[in-house]
Amino acid sequence: MPELPEVEIVKEGLRKVIKPGVTIEKIQFRRKDLRSPLPTRLKNRIIHQKILDIQRRAKYILFDFENVVMISHLGMTGTWRVVAMDQQLGLHDHVVLTLSNGKVLAYNDPRRFGVFDIIPKPGFSADKRFCHLGPEPFSETFDVEYFWQRSRKKVTAIKTFIMDQRFVVGVGNIYASEALYRAGVSPLLTAGNINREQITLLIGAIQQVLKQSIDAGGSSISDYRGVDEVSGSFQDKFLVYGRAGEPCHKCSRAIRAKVISGRSTFWCVNCQKTSRKKITEQKNYGHTRKNLSSTSGT
DNA sequence: AAATGAACCTGTTTGC
DNA sequence: TGCAAACAGGTTCATT
């Protein structure tokens, strides 16, 4: 479910409920594990301790304590919500926090692909879930030169490449298709073949689509909701995702769908090119058009 | 080493 | 209508 914008919205929602200095009075694990075991033995490291801040790194929400960091990853179906006074806990409410301000927060996750853990600070930066993460997409580090260097010699599809959290964090399956469409780059382009102009467009498109989605409260498809139960609206702004067969908003040709590296991918064959070079060749050498189009294979 | 596909789960949608 | 298959926002592990 949640890519960077949705995680950002959930993090902000949690910040509104958990002001600095609030403590967790009680923590309840209603099963022993999610994707990985729940940190039963480390519970006492956060009980009655002040939450200093709540931040986001990649698709993880970080609860900062004096000596530990409590982390939450929403996987595909994870949600946090404030449990109403008279509300019963549900089947998939796996983690329940009772706060010193009287509020109760529940982490719900039907598929249990999420992560909830407590990491002592001395080992945080070396933690295997964080040490290999790439730069944040809005950071200075994520620039054309970085993209160029990292992508050289890569044989994988550009769509798969930008979803690799070791390269850049936060881009998931929906925003990968959306960013590539906005940049006019085919998801099937070999990552190592992307040129500087396309990189510039793609970085801009990734940043733009993520920002616009955050501003819209994220995308609410299926079960995603913010902490306050309010839905985001960016799903209404999807230009290609989930629109197989429907007309491209630019050229009216049918949006194509294909599974790439196991993930559904949507794009416009006409507006998104596999090679900048080929477009130029088509313009300059029209008489070879037939030959080129037979190998362009978008 | 890098790249691909399977696996981890449950719930919902799609198709026969 | 009913049931089975397909599919879903992510990450990690095994295999090639």
Strand B near-CB residues (< 7 Å), A 236-275? 261-262
* Tens digit of each residue's pLDDT, chain A (298 residues): 699 999 999 999 999 999 999 999 999 999 999 999 999 999 999 999 999 999 999 999 999 999 999 999 999 999 999 999 889 999 999 999 999 999 999 999 999 999 999 999 999 999 999 999 999 999 999 999 999 999 999 999 999 999 999 999 999 999 999 999 999 999 999 999 999 999 999 999 999 999 999 999 999 876 566 777 777 889 889 999 999 999 999 999 999 999 999 999 999 999 998 875 543 333 332 233 223 233 333 3
pLDDT value for A1: 61
- Which nucleotide lies at the shortest CA–C1' distance from A112? B9
Report the sign of the C-alpha dihedral through residues A194, A196, A198, A203, in that order: positive
Check residue A285 and report its DSSP letter: -
Using an 8 Å Cβ cutoff, are A68 and A44 in contact?
no
Check residue A89 and report its DSSP letter: P
A193 touches strand B (CB under 7 A): no
CB atoms within 10 A of CB A280: 10
Largest CA distance in chain A: 75
Question: Cα–chain-centroid distance for residue A213?
Answer: 11
From the CA of A34 to the C1' of B8: give the distance in Å.
10
Asked if A3 is an active-site residue, the reply is yes
CA distance A122 to A10: 27
Phi, psi angles (nearest 5°) of residue A149: -60, -45
Task: Please give the angle made by the CA atoms of A13, A131 and A142, to the nearest 5 degrees.
Answer: 70
Asked if A263 is an active-site residue, the reply is yes
pLDDT value for A63: 98
Q: Which of A11, A59, A243, A276 is catalytic?
A: A59
A261 touches strand C (CB under 7 A): no
From the CA of A240 to the C1' of C6: give the distance in Å.
21
Say whether A145 sits in a helix, a strand or coil.
helix
A113 touches strand B (CB under 7 A): yes
Protein-proximal positions, strand C, CB < 7 A:
7-12
Say whether A101 sits in a helix, a strand or coil.
coil
CA atoms within 13 A on the CB side of A72: 27
Question: Cα–chain-centroid distance for residue A148?
Answer: 22
The edge-to-edge listing of strands for the beta sheet with A104-108 is: A24-29, A93-99, A104-108, A79-82
CA distance A55 to A47: 19
Asked if A12 is an active-site residue, the reply is no
pLDDT value for A231: 77
pLDDT digits (tens, 9 = 90+) for A26-73: 999 999 999 999 999 999 999 999 999 999 999 999 999 999 999 999
pTM of the model: 0.91
Asked if A152 is an active-site residue, the reply is no
From the CA of A73 to the C1' of B6: give the distance in Å.
22
Question: What angle separates helix A196-215 from helix A173-183, to the nearest 10 degrees?
Answer: 130
